[in-house]
Amino acid sequence: LTEQGVDEFALIQRYFQRPAQPTVALGIGDDAALIDPPAGHQLAICTDTLVAGRHFAPDAAGFDIGWKSLAVNLSDLAAMGAKPQSALLALTLPEADASWLKAFSEGFFALAEAHGVALIGGDTTRGPLSITVTAIGMVPSGRALRRDGARVGDMVCVTGTLGDAAAALSGIDSVAMAMRLHRPEPRVAAGALLREHASAAIDVSDGLLADLGHVCAASNVGADLRDDLLPASEALLAAVPDAGIRLRHQLGGDDYELCLCLPPDNVTAAIEALAAVGVPLHVIGRVAAEPGVRLRTADGTLMPQAHSGYKHFE
């Protein structure tokens, strides 16, 4: 892989090697990185791939691709209540384009530095553009927010608002909504605080109904949601006045908000804890014994499910 005669080792050094961080015993440059997990903690580890033409347009900005490739992983750590610590980056590139690599690495590190994440290794190969990030976080042992902890009677809540990213993807022209699509802000601080309050959590990537469906399946429960309680941004309310179309966007996914189940007695404290870090938390429904996720109007009428989530092999 060459950039005007620059080999991949020079490329890694130029774009991806940053000063050592104290949380990492050995970073980029050896056959593997070394980390010392702090006493009393478990490692939370996840990986996600972004493929050109599937997860982003082939002409998408390098900065945004770099940001989002890390953001989707930090969102998974947030949904576990884990604090991000480090990441690995497997990069497959059609060519070593200097301006693209510069923009990509700036986007990646903008988010990495905001969360104190060290890039500790990766792999660099030639081929169709594809980015795989593996993120490593720390969580006090036994305290992670899992999908299998929801109980009948829990309240279902969601952070922030839903629908901006899907609306931007559908072609609605709004800077605010485009930012939600291309530079999602993973709910890391909220996830850590919610360890004290939530019984189960997941991040909203494929779509609310599908993602909450995973929590329900893992917990052997179901859920009833109220369509009028799903939070929407001011931008979405203004751009999409039709409630039916707005609902489709709100169920469309790519929000990278957290969906939580909480015992009813914990809801007020959770809302207050998240308010302190500037994250709204909204009750959207309730956990029930009957399996499946149902969407109802305010008067209880069952709604046809508009969207059950993105599946790669259907």
By beta-carbon proximity to ligand ADP, the closer residue of 91 and 165 is 91
119 binds, among ligand ADP, Mg ion, none (CB under 5 to 8 A by kind): ligand ADP
187 close to 158: Cβ distance less than 8 angstroms:
no
- Quick note: the x/- pattern for ligand ADP over 36-75, rule CB under 6 A, is ----------------------------------------
- Copy the structure tokens of residue 80: 């576990």
Exposure letters 254-277 (e unless 16+ CB within 10 A, then b): bbbbbbbbbbeebbeebbebbeee
In Å, what is the CA distance from 196 to each residue of 81, 191, 254, 270, 273?
10, 10, 26, 8, 10
- Quick note: the x/- pattern for ligand ADP over 176-195, rule CB under 6 A, is --------------------
CA distance 223 to 75: 23
Strand partners, 158: 259, 282
5 close to 13: Cβ distance less than 8 angstroms:
no
11 to 30, contacts with ligand ADP by CB under 6 A?
12, 16, 28-30
Strand 292-296 and strand 222-226: the pairing is parallel
* Number of residues forming the site for ligand ADP (CB under 6 A): 13
By the rule CB under 6 A, 31 interacts with ligand ADP:
yes
By the rule CB under 5 A, 228 interacts with Mg ion:
no
Q: Of 95, 123, 148, 290, which lies in the binding site for Mg ion, with binding defined by CB under 5 A?
A: 123
CA distance 82 to 46: 11
Considering the complex, what minimum distance in angstroms separates the CB of residue 123 from Mg ion?
4
12 binds, among ligand ADP, Mg ion, none (CB under 5 to 8 A by kind): ligand ADP
By the rule CB under 6 A, 121 interacts with ligand ADP:
yes
Q: Which residues bind Mg ion (CB under 5 A)?
A: 123
Q: Which residues bind ligand ADP (CB under 6 A)?
A: 12, 16, 28-31, 89, 91, 119, 121-124
